[in-house]
A and B are shown apart, each in its own frame.
Chain A
Amino acid sequence: MNYFVPIRSVLSTVVYPIQTMAALPKDISDWVANYFQSQRQLKEKNTELEATNLLNSVRLQRLKALERENIRLRKLLGSSFRLRERVLVAELLTIDLDPSYQQVVIDKGQRYDVFVGQPVLDATGVMGQVTEVNPFSSRVVLLTDPSHAIPVQVNRNGLRSIATGWGLGESLQLENLPHNADVRIGDSLVTSGLGGRFPVGYPVGTVVSVNFPQGKAFAEIGVKPAAQLSTSREVLLVLPAKMVEISKKSPDTDTETETETETETETETETEAEAEAEAEAER
């Protein structure tokens, strides 16, 4: 079957101009709407963004501290720890594809080292994964596609399961959970990282319905995806994370090599200092 991959790739390149042309009207209307935004609107948007940016950076500081703490604790346990993932931003082509498949086309391909199986996120959660890479574009299968399944765990208690797509309508189902499974409406699900394809801890969705049908072996649990599958324009492609073997190194050199692998070494040490100050304050 793999003989057809290069053929398909070539044909995809042939039809890519048609696809971009089909996306043009929407692009132009977006551009016009952007261009004629009033100054007041822009100012409002700017203040709003600045506020969220401030909030996010404060949260990020805490997160960094927690990450350091996690690394230290894992070091005590002698297990390895995945560093934070790097991402590549891509844009969706606004075109409709075959409605019986849930998939989208993005504007980054081989030239940006996109690979098959690469996880795709948006601002609010996991969107899906790359299934086909062409020179200029890639095809992404969404979580809701019937052929897609993603390993998840309940954030509240760590219960693991698999969320499969259900086709039309934006809903996922948790598979093979027994009737006594501790899942409630409103539980948030995150990726469990099992299977090794999706990074750990990204939001997948929230539980919206829990049914225990009589006479059936498994519970029926509906999940609403966290990602904005139908409205997102920008998506993030996750690049593979670097794995750091902590147990094989001595503690001192270890911290140094770790901070070297991080790009923001300075902020890292700052937040560490902050975290320690915080810990002292708590004492």
Chain B
Amino acid sequence: MAENQKSHGGIIIFTIVFAMLLMLLPLPDSLRFFRPEWVLITLIYWAMAVPRLVGVGFAWVVGLLMDVMMGGAMGVLAFSYTLVIYLVLQFHLQLRQYPLWQQALSILSLVLLVDIVTVLVSPTMAGWHVWLPAVSSTVLWPVMYSLLRTVRRTFNVS
């Protein structure tokens, strides 16, 4: 049983690391601002699907690593990811019942929450472009959802 759990954690961490790679991958300038919040939506999915394994503490660690990796102020993403995952954990039973488009709208509000925290802390004037990741994340949510569900079922994470 213990070994089983270990491998489950492994696949979650693997998807998170893969999402981090997607965050860093160089994009053409025109697409740069449309980059979805890969790590955040992956985290949200796992928190929603297996709240037993993905908790607030895990979100905090991932957020802190993201802060350092992306070069922002330390703790901003850690805080906002923790906040979002807390909300997801509170409402994960409702979220699971929603149809996909309604889920996507919840994702929109959650990603916007992260963006709002980032903008509040950011030292510079925020342009319109800061809200674009929320839009692209929402549009991509159904795809990510089915993809991660396939991963979850293949590796039997529960």
Chain A interface residues toward B at CB < 8 A: 4, 7-8, 11-12, 14-15, 18-19, 21-23, 25-26, 94-101, 103, 105, 139, 146-147, 167-168, 230
Contacts and interface: CB of A to CB of B under 8 A. Distances in A.
A97 B71 contact: yes
B26 interface: yes
Interface stretch (B42-50, B95-103, B118-126): B118-126
Contacts of B126: 100
B26 A95 contact: yes
Interface string B24-51: 1111010011010000000000000000
A97 B24 CA distance: 6
B68 A15 contact: yes
Nearest to B32: A99
A167 B24 contact: no
Among B35, B124, B125: residue with most chain A CB under 10 A: B124
Contacts, number: 73
B24 A95 contact: yes
A94 B26 contact: yes
Nearest to A98: B70
Contacts of A25: 25
Contacts of A7: 74
A141 to B, nearest CB: 9
Interface residues of B, number: 29
Given A19-B24, A103-B71, 11 more contacts: A8-B68, A8-B74, A11-B68, A15-B69, A19-B69, A95-B25, A96-B23, A100-B122, A100-B124, A167-B124, A168-B129
A11 B64 CA distance: 8
B17 interface: yes
A92 to B, nearest CB: 10
Nearest to A11: B68
Interface in B68-107: 68-72, 74
A219 B95 CA distance: 55
Contacts of B64: 11
A101 B20 contact: no
B117 interface: no
A4 B73 CA distance: 11
Nearest to A24: B21
B24 A4 contact: no
Q: Which 10 A-B pairs have the closest CB atoms?
A: A22-B24, A95-B24, A11-B68, A98-B70, A15-B69, A146-B124, A97-B71, A22-B21, A98-B72, A94-B26
Contacts of A21: 21
